[in-house]
């Protein structure tokens, strides 16, 4: 413990008496910390729902033929699993939770630039979630198109497509509002002396993410509206029978959805960039290179959507260009990995749960990234397209990258957010089970994909059976690890030892204020005179 000082004389943001009490004190609060926690509790609820749906999918795939559900139910479940996990969990995940809670504190501000807009973004998020999930309970049943809503099936199916599409459309507004708020906050509310290159790396990644949210999200919003127009008004955007083009849908969808991957992964990289120097007790290696890489990923990420469509039908020139750009976007990601590993070189490393999550993030992110290069190459893509290999790559990047960074972030900032400590031994056991289960769950899918097992199928031939059994058992181990983690954190939040200001020895501004923070974070706005990771 770097500091043992506990300042209980201050009133934490949780204990401040306002106009409302009870639940209303939370859902009508404009305090950025409460808004961040509102997102946390909402997203965790949806995450657990998505996990349960995923386990049912793995149970069905445990053996060939029907195991626990029929094909139509499987299609509905994997669609809901995708919609919930993508639109309700991983896209808003780190920016909405830790961005809202930590961004103003890390740049020395009392709140975000537009607190009421910030609360509105959560309300819009809640409304979008309700609309999307209402498709479950309406006549016709949940949508069965997959989370991509691919045309032409998305306007021909008789299931409840419209609520899911409109829900996703509404959720986009929440993302845009959050992005606008973060950009203005970073531009206008940094503490005196905090120049751009004295700003911590997590706010930098939120900055890059916010631009993607603002510029790319409207594209998918318009695309989803076009689906609504096609289904209700029979306007021929995507239906060849009406003069439309189904390939146009794929272009519009992936112009947003590939940059959306970076909405998910950039804040994850930011959280890892905070954890590693703290537990290495060392200034991060190549700060400016990481900043430039963040902006490069955000920029180049706009131009690689075509690699999702190598087999859909494009010109030879387009194929080569998109393949080349896919390899180019890997360069800034590789620079970040190099800098994180270099930071650990000859460091005095503290082996605590946040560091374990950060180290395992490096592993799963590299596996996910390198497997992405196999999909970015034209020849191998044709062989692996629409196989289980893609599912494994996607989950190593999105669930592995974002999920492990999320777990690292919550274990890292937990003392600051709740003012209490969790049991680090139990947290380590939870991490080991989660990491082991994750590897057993998704690694067999690489092999299944190489052997030719298609994705999104509820049945398969006998030769894929053994690896599917391993994958299903891995899902059980992962779930056990997740249960251990959640129980430990909940117990820590309620009964854990009081946390000091700086339990890990961090150097950024959040570790200079009380745990948990007061309503306005700082008694006096700090004046910044040095960089964020000064361990000299």
Phi, psi of 498 (to 5 degrees): -60, 135
Position 6 pLDDT exceeds 70: no
Average pLDDT of span 204-216? 91
Say what the pLDDT of residue 5 is.
44
State what percent of residues in the chain have pLDDT above 90: 66
Q: Cα–Cα distance between 262 and 359 in angstroms, integer? A: 20
Say what the pLDDT of residue 1 is.
38
Q: Specify the higher pLDDT residue, 257 or 75.
A: 75
Position 351 pLDDT exceeds 90: yes
Position 8 pLDDT exceeds 60: no
Burial 482-521 (b: 16+ CB within 10 A, else e): bebbeebbeebeeebeebbbbbbebbbbbbebbbbbbbeb
Q: Cα–Cα distance between 475 and 434 in angstroms, integer? A: 9
Say what the pLDDT of residue 9 is.
59
Give residue-wise pLDDT tens across range 262-306: 888 899 999 999 999 999 999 999 999 999 999 998 888 888 888
Average pLDDT of span 357-362? 96
Give residue-wise pLDDT tens across range 378-425: 999 999 999 999 999 999 998 888 999 999 999 999 999 999 999 999
State what percent of residues in the chain have pLDDT above 70: 98
195: left (phi over 0), alpha (psi -120 to 50) or beta: beta
Say what the pLDDT of residue 161 is.
81
Q: Cα–Cα distance between 391 and 443 in angstroms, integer? A: 10
460-463 own/partner pairs: CB under 8 Å, 24+ apart: 460/61, 460/64, 461/64, 462/64
Provide the sign of the torsion angle of the four alpha carbons 476, 478, 479, 484, taken in this order: positive
Contact (CB, 8 A) for 329 and 304: yes
Average pLDDT of span 86-105? 92
Compute the mean pLDDT over every residue in the chain, rounded to the nearest whole number: 91
Average pLDDT of span 185-208? 95
Q: What is the dihedral of CA 299, 303, 304, 308, to 10 degrees?
A: 130
Give residue-wise pLDDT tens across range 118-175: 999 999 999 999 998 888 778 778 888 888 888 888 777 888 888 888 888 899 899 9
**Cis previous bond, 516, omega within 30:** yes
Burial 151-167 (b: 16+ CB within 10 A, else e): bbebbebebbbbbbbbb
Average pLDDT of span 350-362? 96
Residue 511: pLDDT band by 50, 70, 90 thresholds? Answer: very high
Spatial CA neighbour of 269 closest among 231, 295, 236: 295
């Amino acid at each position: 413990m770097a500091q043992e000082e506990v300042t209980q004389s201050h009133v934490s943001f949780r204990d401040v008496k306002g106009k409302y009490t009870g639940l209303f004190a939370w859902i009508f609060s404009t305090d950025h910390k409460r808004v961040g926690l509102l997102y946390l509790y909402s997203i965790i609820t949806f995450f657990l729902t998505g996990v349960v749906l995923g386990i049912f999918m793995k149970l069905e795939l445990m053996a060939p033929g029907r195991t626990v559900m029929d094909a139509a139910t499987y299609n509905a479940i994997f669609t809901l699993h995708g919609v919930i996990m993508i639109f309700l969990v991983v896209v808003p995940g780190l920016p909405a939770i830790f961005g809202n809670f930590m961004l103003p504190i890390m740049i020395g501000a009392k709140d975000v630039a537009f607190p009421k807009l910030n609360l509105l973004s959560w309300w819009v998020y809640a409304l979008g979630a309700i609309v999307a999930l209402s498709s479950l309970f309406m006549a016709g049943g949940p949508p069965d198109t997959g989370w991509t809503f691919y045309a032409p099936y998305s306007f021909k199916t008789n299931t409840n497509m419209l609520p899911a599409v409109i829900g996703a459309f509404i959720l986009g507004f929440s993302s845009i509002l959050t992005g606008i708020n973060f950009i203005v906050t970073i531009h206008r509310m940094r503490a005196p002396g905090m120049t751009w290159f004295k700003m911590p790396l997590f706010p930098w990644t939120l900055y890059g993410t916010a631009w993607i949210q603002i510029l790319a999200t409207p594209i998918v919003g318009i695309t989803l509206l076009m689906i609504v127009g096609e289904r209700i008004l029979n306007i021929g955007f995507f239906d060849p029978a009406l003069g439309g083009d189904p390939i146009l849908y794929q272009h519009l969808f992936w112009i947003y959805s590939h940059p959306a991957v970076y909405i998910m992964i950039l804040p994850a990289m930011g959280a890892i960039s905070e954890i590693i120097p703290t537990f290495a007790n060392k200034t991060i290696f190549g700060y400016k290179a990481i900043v430039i890489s963040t902006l490069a990923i955000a920029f180049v990420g706009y131009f690689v959507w075509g690699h999702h469509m190598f087999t859909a039908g494009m010109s030879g020139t387009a194929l080569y260009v998109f393949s080349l750009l896919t390899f180019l976007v890997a360069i800034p990601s590789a620079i970040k990995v190099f800098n994180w590993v270099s930071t650990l070189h000859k460091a005095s490393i503290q082996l605590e749960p946040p560091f374990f999550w950060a180290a395992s993030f490096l592993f799963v992110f590299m596996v996910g990234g390198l497997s992405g290069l196999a999909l970015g190459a034209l020849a191998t893509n044709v062989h692996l397209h629409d196989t289980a290999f893609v599912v494994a790559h996607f989950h190593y990047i999105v669930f592995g990258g974002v999920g492990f960074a999320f777990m690292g972030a919550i274990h890292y900032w937990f003392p600051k957010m709740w003012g209490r400590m969790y049991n680090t031994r139990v947290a380590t056991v939870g991490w080991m089970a989660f990491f082991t289960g994750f590897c057993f769950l998704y690694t067999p899918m690489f092999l299944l994909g190489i052997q030719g097992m298609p994705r999104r199928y509820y049945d398969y031939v006998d030769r894929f059976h053994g690896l599917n059994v391993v994958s299903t058992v891995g899902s059980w181990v992962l779930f056990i690890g997740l249960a251990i983690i959640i129980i430990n954190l909940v117990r820590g939040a309620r009964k854990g030892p009081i946390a000091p200001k700086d339990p890990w020895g961090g150097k950024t501004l959040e570790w200079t204020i009380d745990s948990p923070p007061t309503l306005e974070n700082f008694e006096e706005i700090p004046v910044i005179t040095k960089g964020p990771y000064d361990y000299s």
